Structure 1
Amino acid sequence: MQAVVCHGPQDYRLEEVPVPAPPPGGALVRVEAVGICASDLKCYHGAAKFWGDDSRAAYTESPVIPGHEFAGRIIALDDAARERWGVDTGDRVVSEQIVPCWQCRYCARGQYWMCAPHELYGFKRRTPGAMASYMVFPPEALVHRVSDTLPPAHAAFVEPLSCALHAVERANIRFDDVVVVAGCGPIGLGMVAGAAAKFPAHVIALDVSDRKLELAAKCGADITLNISRDDPQHVVGQLTDGYGADVYLEGTGHPSAVPQGLNLLRKLGTFVEYSVFKEDVTVDWSIISDDKELDVLGAHLGPHCWPAAIRMVESGRLPMDEICTHQLPLADFQAGLDLVADGTESIKVSLIPE
């Protein structure tokens, strides 16, 4: 089969590799679509988070097939897998991006998304990803069925949407909150949709692209601000009698969005960080402590949010045709990476294996 194989930073190659064989209790899946995530791009460009530096160990093992947001159809599985997942051959499925060990401290406590071995599809050799014609779901995987009526790229969008919804859950949004979402890429648009579903007083979307802000409005933002022209500090101040926003969700991955959020929040506000940064971010921590006593929360993956994400995509309430802007053949993976890197023409770029 054809597969994109990561051999190291900026060394991704289209190769012919054997079709994998599923282990006992696992499944063989024909990949229908695989999205290119911003973290895929950062891995491609050699970010220390993925390849290590003096302060951290390498996370990515190479060679490995990338791709952790995907949808496909089950080609083969045994009775154990059929009973565990409640699926059968021919079903369209997605699998959560992490394959938990189910043995470590976190898994034992039900916190599987923080599993200590932390084997994500597409980064570890034991769990090759979906930039290929076929992939394997190990028996430890978490698997969900998705509607046959969705276009493949829409079905694959369940993964980033689940991540966005987890960030929204972490924020504990209340009905009278003013919520600010920074960034209107795939994660940010999902945050907007999830926050709007909580029905707060306002959902304010920030970006530098008018096109993305128009999409944010369609996803549920009632106020959109282009920070290259508009002053979010002034607008938020007017809405809140000068107090500041209640919740700030960071989904840009740009270092400047962090101090922006700390300054926009009121005292005792909530900051939720989701992005993966290419480089270290420095802020004045006294804003968090002495000035405002903020709750600063991280969010990772999409635990317990996949069923909701599936329902949201299947409901038709999101402008999925406008979110899933580009579907390219697997052989054009480099063009896909370049589109994501450019960021001006695309929202969600997906690869479609033959």
Structure 2
Amino acid sequence: MKGEGRLITVGIDLGYGDTKVIGVDGKREKFPSRWAGTEAKNWGIGGSTTILTINDGEPFFFGDNATGANVREPQGDGRLSDPDSLPLLAGALWMSGAGTDGNQAEIVLGSGTPLGTFEHELNAAKEFLEGKEFDIKSVSGETRKFKLSKLVMRPQGVGAALYLLDQGLIKTQYGYGVVVDIGSRTTDVLTVNLKNMEPVVEMSFSIQAGVGDLVSGISKAIAKETGFIVPTDIAREAISQTVVFKQREVGGPKVSEPLMNTLASKILDKLRENLREELDRITALIPVGGGSTLIGHRLEALAPGTLIKIPAEDIQFANALGYRDAASRSAQ
């Protein structure tokens, strides 16, 4: 966190699969990008489940606690300007560590959206959020007050590239850096001119493939073996290790490895198709996002010797770190 007085910078990556937060003193949090309304104001049984309200509105769960038939998962590129995403934003602010002293926290919020919708979303999100005040309350009685004083946005991937540049993991040079953000439902590709750190629009695009394909494949394999539909969170866990479901050990690397190869091949084919005329000018290949921990290393086949290895603790938070850094620079 950087700021003056109660001016606090927060970076939020409102992803399809997970919402990532960089908050007070660099605090890192993430939770599944879903929420669900609830009629329960307080069960009075001392549970630790966080239930919030925004400006005395309807109470809701968020993240792992949001389950059941009424779960909402905002999926459009315009998430920051969508009222349906406010519970996710409120949950992120709550987990950021800001506003815990009882005073209103003035927030400089750094965030982003894919390049293709950036200009439209920038204007819509600023109109929707900038200058707004939110009193976020938990049903346990705690209140945290926020004012979104300023919204600073960067195209998805630019923030990650700037963060890596600041950390010395990439250098200013001739050639292109290709940020491959492997998300839940899509893989967003942003190409950056490493000489001036400007995005190259005609070399930036989205691929309709992501970790959700792995989860779906694992789910089908487990259903075939057990005869039962497996919940999404269990299927996600079964990608990297075997899990016990319906009294059987299912999933794990033997099942997921062929699925990961298929996903990596699909992404590589699309990368080659869209970047084929400039492959020899790629000097930094930068996989980020949750899916990069699973298949990021396989993408080096696109441009051997150019893979940038991001520290494991940063890889899912690279965009949020870049967004928070942009907000911090704006707040100075």
Q: Which has the higher helix share?
A: 2
Question: Normalized against structure 1, the TM-score is what?
Answer: 0.31
